[in-house]
Amino acid sequence: MSKVAVDVNHVTMRYNISSQKVDNLKEYFIKFIKKEIMYNEFLALDDVTFQLNKGDRLGILGLNGAGKSTLLKVIAGVQKPSEGSVTVRGKIVPLLELGAGFDKEYTGAENIYLYGTVLGYSKDFIREKYDEIVEFSELGDFINVPVKNYSSGMKSRLGFAIATVVQPDVLILDEVLAVGDAKFRKKCEAKIQAMFDSGVTVLFVSHSLPQVKRICNKGIILEHGKLIAIGEIEDVAAVYTEKTR
């Protein structure tokens, strides 16, 4: 059986950005028809390749705009790469933009089923775990209120409770989770630590180098979408420290 949990193979993410200002939709269509719209190509990821073995914890380092969050979204399946492929073996839980997939007109209860389905859970599984999700979220009677009336913290709490109701094989974390108040954050961190202790494979983005070194055993550095360093976290951290002096 393969030890590889995540296989990122020559992944490129390309965006076309208009190089000129267009004031309104009518002007855009006129310029589009006349072929006067010019685009600049932007590579958010540029031919990125690496493998991660089961149980590895990968710290993804780089300055703002390096492509870190884009890489996580591609691995999570939120975005499809322009070129290359990603293979993830096992159940993946992406803790990215928690609650972003909610329908604001639906209640929290309805969104448990909606968001759970998006994450690949069966209806029977969601029904079985429903009470556990509600209890962890600490939303109480608000679970029957439309999500449009939720604060961002309430949405994040519900999103976290749904996403982490399964034991993942691969966990994706973007920065430290700012979920609810200090007490709730502590509960979330304890749940994530329990996942770590079970041997889950982790991909972790953070601007805190000490935190990355504490959590991760492997590291990569992205710079303008290119992978410029990969290896043991201590070695990669030394390169990153040198580059950011």
Q: pLDDT tier at 188 (50, 70, 90 boundaries)?
A: confident
- The predicted pLDDT at position 29 comes to 60
- The predicted pLDDT at position 109 comes to 97
One-letter amino acid identity for 9? N
- Judged by DSSP in three states, 91 sits in coil
83-88/201-205 β-pairing: unpaired
- The predicted pLDDT at position 33 comes to 65
pLDDT digits (tens, 9 = 90+) for 223-233: 999 999 999 99
pLDDT digits (tens, 9 = 90+) for 39-63: 567 789 999 999 999 999 999 999 8
Q: Tell me if the pTM is above 0.85.
A: no
218-223/201-205 β-pairing: unpaired
In whole angstroms, give the CA distance from residue 127 to residue 186. 27
Residue 18 has pLDDT above 60, yes or no: no
Residue 161 has pLDDT above 70, yes or no: yes
- The predicted pLDDT at position 35 comes to 63
Q: pLDDT tier at 37 (50, 70, 90 boundaries)?
A: low
Residue 201 has pLDDT above 90, yes or no: yes
Average pLDDT, the chain: 87
pLDDT digits (tens, 9 = 90+) for 92-135: 988 887 777 799 999 999 999 998 888 888 999 999 999 999 99
- The predicted pLDDT at position 177 comes to 62
As given in the structure block, the two tokens for residue 166 are: 């399964």
**Spatial CB neighbours of 5, under 8 Å, sequence gap ≥ 6:** 52, 53, 54, 55, 56, 88, 89, 90, 169, 170, 201
